[in-house]
A and B are shown apart, each in its own frame.
Chain A
Amino acid sequence: MNKAKSFIIATILLFITWILLSGIATQEVIFGGITALIISLLFLTRLTVLGDIKFGIKPFIFSIGYFFLFSWELLKSNLDVARRVISPKLPINPGIVKVKTKLKSPLGRAFLANSITLTPGTLTVEMRGEYFYIHWIDVTGCDINCATDKIVAKFEKYLEVIFG
């Protein structure tokens, strides 16, 4: 089941990539692409990671929400870094903190780690079991629960529905 799902998602993703890369959508390009994709993906038996993605209406809505949240956070994080870099006093209180995640699926955890890296003032340094170690540019006397609330919770809410 997981394998079939992986196969379908990989086919769709790679087909979109192929169309975008080729730039033209004539009949030869489309059918040649599909044939080549299916032949090459038949030999791919170990790819089960993509099977974590859930189908359905709720995950779909949540992935759109996640997209907007991510874009907003990316913009905010850049303005934040810009502010810190420009200001003459360099206002940083860096440190490495530990946060906890509920996510189980490898793909969901990868997405979470990447999202954390691209949000204001945080950088994932290490993933170990259910704990993430995060370099935080503005540690403000926070314990593990408060850091988890501030850094992880907003993304986890969405990723939990999308990847499970």
Chain B
Amino acid sequence: MEMIFALITLIGALFLFLGALGLVRMPDVYNRMQAGTKATTLGTILFSLGIGLANFGSGWCGKIVIIILFVIATNPVSSNVIARAAHFSGIKLAKLSLKDELKEDDEKTEGGTL
């Protein structure tokens, strides 16, 4: 049993590593955010879950549940706010991007509404 829980933790760590690799490889801030948000969310969930299952029945097991729920609730919000701030402060998309409809709409209404 212990092996399985260790494996879950290992897979979580692997996803965290892939998130870090994505930060290095992606071309612009928005794509980096994509890799950073998704991989770290599942990575943290699996990592905590493996530790929680290995210590099932001890008093602090519930705290693992709380950690997982908070990560799910807050991780996307923070990345959304960072991406929004990046776009409004004028950081451009990478050259290979196909379109930017938010910028088009902003130009239509001259600056947009913050």
Q: Is the CB of A86 within 8 A of B18?
A: yes
Question: Looking at the complex, which one of B25, B34, B113 makes contact with A121 (CB distance below 8 Å)?
Answer: B34
Q: Is the CB of A90 within 8 A of B41?
A: no
Chain B residues within 8 Å of A17, by CB: 66
Nearest CB on B from A17, distance (A)? 6
Q: Is the CB of B60 within 8 A of A23?
A: yes
Residue of A nearest to B98 (CB): A95
Q: Is the CB of A123 within 8 A of B34?
A: yes
Interface string of B79-95 (1 = CB under 8 A from A): 11001100100000110
A24 to B61, CA, bound (A): 10
- With an 8 Å Cβ cutoff, the count of chain A residues facing the other chain is 38
Nearest CB on B from A150, distance (A)? 15
Q: Is the CB of A78 within 8 A of B39?
A: yes
Q: Is the CB of A133 within 8 A of B79?
A: no
Interface string of A130-148 (1 = CB under 8 A from B): 0001010101010000000
| A96, A98, A113, A126: residue with the most chain B Cβ atoms closer than 10 Å | A96
A interface with B by C-beta (< 8 Å): 17, 19-21, 23-24, 74-75, 77-78, 81-82, 84-86, 90, 92-98, 113-114, 117-118, 121, 123-126, 128, 133, 135, 137, 139, 141
Q: Is the CB of A85 within 8 A of B21?
A: yes
Q: Is the CB of A113 within 8 A of B39?
A: no
Q: Is the CB of A20 within 8 A of B22?
A: no
Question: Looking at the complex, which one of B26, B59, B73, B102 makes contact with A126 (CB distance below 8 Å)?
Answer: B102
A94 to B32, CA, bound (A): 11
Q: Is the CB of B59 within 8 A of A24?
A: yes
- Can you show 22 pairs from A to B with CB atoms below 8 A apart? A17-B66, A20-B63, A21-B62, A21-B66, A75-B42, A78-B15, A81-B34, A81-B39, A84-B22, A85-B35, A94-B31, A94-B94, A94-B97, A96-B99, A97-B99, A117-B79, A118-B41, A121-B34, A123-B80, A124-B80, A125-B102, A133-B102
Nearest CB on A from B62, distance (A)? 3
Task: For the A-B complex with A23-B63, A77-B38 known, give 12 more contacts whose Cβ atoms are closer than 8 Å.
Answer: A20-B66, A24-B59, A92-B27, A92-B96, A96-B99, A96-B101, A98-B105, A117-B76, A123-B79, A128-B113, A133-B105, A135-B33
A35 to B66, CA, bound (A): 22
